[in-house]
Amino acid sequence: MGCCSSAAHSSKREWKPLEDRSCTDIPWLLLFILFCIGMGFICGFSIATGAAARLVSGYDSYGNICGQKNVKVDGIVNSGLDLTQKKYVFFLDPCNVDLVHRKIKSIALCVAACPRKELKTLADVQKFAETNGSNLCSYELLSSKYTTDLQASKLCPKLPVPESAPIPFFHRCAPVNISCYAKFAEALITFVSDSSVLHRLISGVMTSKEIIMGLCLLSLVLSMILMVIIRYISRVLVWILTILIVLGSLGGTGVLWWLYAKQTKFVNETLTADQLQVAKDNLQALLVYAISATVFTVILFLIMLIMRKRVALTIALFHVAGKVFIHLPLLVFQPFWTFFALILFWSYWIMVLLFLGTTGSPVLNEQGFVEFRVLGPLRYMWWYHVVGLIWISEFILACQQMTVAGAVVTYYFTREKRNLPFTPILASVNRLVCYHLGTVAKGSFIITLVKIPRMILMYIHSQLKGKENACARCMLKACICCLWCLEKCLTYLNQNAYTATAINSTNFCTSAKDAFVILVENALRVAAINTVGDFMLFLGKVLIVCSTGLAGVMLLNYQRDYTVWVLPLIIVCLFAFLVAHCFLSIYEMVVDVLFLCFAIDTKYNDGSPGREFYMDKILMEFVENSRKSMKEAGRGGGAEGRELKPMASGASSS
């Protein structure tokens, strides 16, 4: 389980792509299995203690489960009732929502039927009880006394009783009119100031649900088309972006200096003292902006001058990535399987969380009603459950990364592409399950260790908002930011470690060390790919979102049933961005894997007999052009020469 045991010999080990295959990080796989068994114990405990029945059937404010006979609990009145015929939970004041504790602050009763129409008076409540056999007032009050008893106003539901219907599978009577929860909705959507706006927004979504579904499908199609197009327009797109960046930086700097020169003419003694001071402050600010823009432009030009040759590698990698998707078409569907797996796990996690919310022993709260609370050490089970949410979610995402890495590595290091496995994706999944689940478990656990402190600090920051001083707030934000940066760096390193494991079948720490060495040796190339490449993919996401949003505006323009387009367009654009991010992140992942394979290929092979390159013809042309440039510039000088010099363990190229 340690990182140092095998890493000490990694410098003497040669890379042997796809030759040897062995199990990696077995102790971490056993630890992950034990953790999952613990998650299963929590699920079983919550079901065994009656939580499942209380969740599905519901329970009243006295601890009775609706729809069954109950056992009397000492010290609690109205407990132990036979409620076999009363299968639905009814709240006397269902609109009284506690936003802080996220629950309904109302007495809950078990009733035989939900009121299917509004009841405006106690006489209507009494008539409903006599007609349907469903008493909506407290158990101790007979239906014949609903209109005569002086305590009826406290023991009966708040008038008017809204029309309600049972929630499918959960046997709760819920108001049909959503305006009942207007306050709760306004707390979530701050720009909604009245229920009429909320009604128009929701009616807009319901009216245009076919258009929304069509636009979501359009974003899916556009994402798949863009992945194909990028292969053919990558070279043009990169240079267009480069030109736009140059023109933008020059234009912005020029405008700032022009504004500074223009403002200088207006600063004169004819202005009042206050106006003169404001004008001088503005002039000074413009000068600072102009100088900053000039420095930024100069630095940008220097960076582009240094990295101009490495942009060609980015273009070549994008071109080869397009070929990968042609040979491995199942890669396109990888986001679907990952999303499906995450949805299944999250559904299970939420179900168990709901079970935990109703697990425990009955205790009286401050109002004298029953709540179920877990006492003793078991009350900390939900912490374990939260850690499970993070670790297993990261594990599923890491499995996707390892699967993609394994498939792309197989493609890259197979010299004759016609000898590729029938389905490289399934072959990669098979290798993952048989050999490398421990490595994935260890990598995902490292990310979890960084995520948990960041989430705790974010929770503390939200709880202390408005209470802490400026210094504490700044320190908290700085810690959160540092942890976020660390998480992103570790995620990138983990992805490359999975690629190294897929190539050489080494454990996580050895793979991470080897990948880190390769990345450091090719630092400028990494910077070029992660700036130019990521910016290209970001623009692709923006293009898909804008295209889908524009299509949405045009389609909604022909629909005159309502006037509020905000919510449908927000839903469509968010979904379009999510879909584009899922697909293009796979493209980005493929490019990163190809780069590491390329860097290893150029380091340990030189094209001589017995050390032939594995790379694609496009990348071969890039290497040849780079070598020609090196020869012209003189051997041994410059970072490019050091990067492209063929190296092998114990040998040098001649």
The predicted structure's pLDDT at residue 205: 57
DSSP 167: P
Of 147, 113, 118, residue with least CA distance to 132: 113
Neighbours of 557 (CB within 10 A): 9
Tokens of 294: 């000039």
The predicted structure's pLDDT at residue 447: 94
What's the gap between Cα 250 and its chain centre?
37
Q: Where are the alpha helices (DSSP H) in 208-272?
A: 209-266
Q: Which residue shows structure tokens 């016609």?
A: 418
The predicted structure's pLDDT at residue 234: 67
Contacts of 496 (CB under 8 A, 6+ apart): 512, 515, 516, 518, 519, 592, 596
pTM exceeds cut of 0.85: no
Contacts of 597 (CB under 8 A, 6+ apart): 408, 409, 412, 413, 499, 503, 614, 615
Interatomic CA distance for residues 620 and 605, integer angstroms: 12
E strands of 255-343, at which residues?
none
| CB 600 within 8 Å of CB 519 | no
Q: Is the dihedral of CA 473, 474, 475, 476 positive or negative?
A: positive
Neighbours of 34 (CB within 10 A): 9
Of 335, 324, 86, residue with least CA distance to 223: 335
The predicted structure's pLDDT at residue 364: 79
- 295 burial type by CB count under 10 A (0-12 exposed, 13-18 middle, 19+ buried): exposed
Give the Å distances, CA to CA, from 477 to 429, 471, 490. Answer: 40, 10, 20
Phi, psi of 109 (to 5 degrees): -125, 160
| CB 76 within 8 Å of CB 362 | yes
- The model's pLDDT over 502-535, given as tens digits with 9 standing for 90+, comes to 988 889 999 999 899 988 888 877 877 777 777 7
Taking the CA atoms of residue 10, residue 16, residue 17 and residue 23 in that order, the dihedral angle to the nearest 10 degrees is -60
Interatomic CA distance for residues 107 and 89, integer angstroms: 10
E strand or H helix at 647 = strand 647-648
Q: Is the dihedral of CA 53, 56, 57, 58 positive or negative?
A: positive
The predicted structure's pLDDT at residue 179: 59
- The model's pLDDT over 367-425, given as tens digits with 9 standing for 90+, comes to 778 877 777 666 778 889 999 999 999 999 999 999 999 999 988 888 777 777 778 88
The predicted structure's pLDDT at residue 542: 79
Interatomic CA distance for residues 277 and 471, integer angstroms: 31
Q: Which residue shows structure tokens 């022993």?
A: 361
Contacts of 393 (CB under 8 A, 6+ apart): 342, 345, 346
pLDDT more than 70, % of the chain: 78
Q: What angle do CA 18, 19, 25 make, to 5 degrees?
A: 75
SS3 at position 164? strand
Interatomic CA distance for residues 208 and 104, integer angstroms: 32
Specify whether the backbone of 185 is left (phi greater than 0), alpha (psi in -120 to 50) or beta.
alpha
Interatomic CA distance for residues 277 and 270, integer angstroms: 12
Q: Per-block average pLDDT, block size 10, for the chain (654 residues)?
A: 43 60 90 94 81 81 89 82 90 68 72 90 90 88 86 85 84 76 44 43 59 81 79 71 75 83 70 67 77 85 71 78 83 86 92 79 77 73 90 94 91 81 86 92 94 87 70 83 90 91 90 90 78 75 81 67 60 85 85 88 78 78 69 52 38 32
Contacts for 148-157: CB closer than 8 Å, 24+ residues apart: 152/122, 156/92, 156/122, 156/125, 157/90, 157/91, 157/92, 157/93, 157/119, 157/125
Residue type, 318: F
Interatomic CA distance for residues 425 and 438, integer angstroms: 19
